[in-house]
Chain A
Amino acid sequence: ELKVEQNPLFLSMQEGKNYTIYCNYSTTSDRLYWYRQDPGKSLESLFVLLSNGAVKQEGRLMASLDTKARLSTLHITAAVHDLSATYFCAVGFLNDKLIFGTGTRLQVFP
């Protein structure tokens, strides 16, 4: 069974701090996507990682992919309140099917 697991499921962090969200998946894939979802809203694409060792950065967020370890990370640098949201990783499989992780709910407080 294909599984995509994220941890932590919930993250409460202080502004200015750094933290990493982990995404583990159970089978071979070389495509991984990160999405952001605000409460009651749809999913916004953040990063597309297409190969082993891929690293992408946008503002305070940086994502990386290790296909051999079947692991992706989303690193948050100097968190700000506007980053509060739920973050999903999704692994791409045959026919472009995406399997989503459980989501990490991030709350940034002053």
Chain B
Amino acid sequence: EAEVAQSPRYKITEKSQAVAFWCDPISGHATLYWYRQILGQGPELLVQFQDESVVDDSQLPKDRFSAERLKGVDSTLKIQPAELGDSAMYLCASSFFGTSGSNEQFFGPGTRLTVL
């Protein structure tokens, strides 16, 4: 069964360090999303890609966060420098872009980030 892959699953870092997360969407899914989920809350969209183009990054803290999807397949989310408040679960999701489909998003296992 096709799944969204993410790595690493867990990351512990000290504040002011740089961290990077990787996501490989389900094959054929043109749309890729990065979410941040703080403990006890629902996921919040950070950035959305359609192929290699950014569709929505309005909630991405651009002074420290960056995201890319250079070839329109896998994607990397980077934080530099990390702050204590960045501790959260970072979820990647993908969906098949279609005019009549449900555009259902499928989520990866997530990366749990702890900033010390």
Contacts and interface: CB of A to CB of B under 8 A. Distances in A.
Interface of A: 4, 31, 33, 35, 40-45, 48, 50, 88, 90, 92, 95-98, 100-103
Given A42-B110, A43-B91, A95 B41 contact: no
Nearest to A47: B104
A101 B44 CA distance: 10
A45 B55 contact: no
Nearest to B109: A42
Contact of B42 (A48, A92, A96, A102): A102
Interface residues of B, number: 25
B48 A95 contact: yes
Given A42-B91, A42-B108, A50-B102, 20 more contacts: A31-B102, A42-B110, A43-B93, A43-B107, A45-B104, A45-B107, A88-B42, A90-B42, A92-B103, A95-B56, A96-B31, A96-B95, A97-B48, A97-B56, A98-B33, A98-B45, A100-B42, A100-B44, A101-B42, A102-B42
Given A31-B102, A92-B103, A97-B48, A103 B109 contact: no
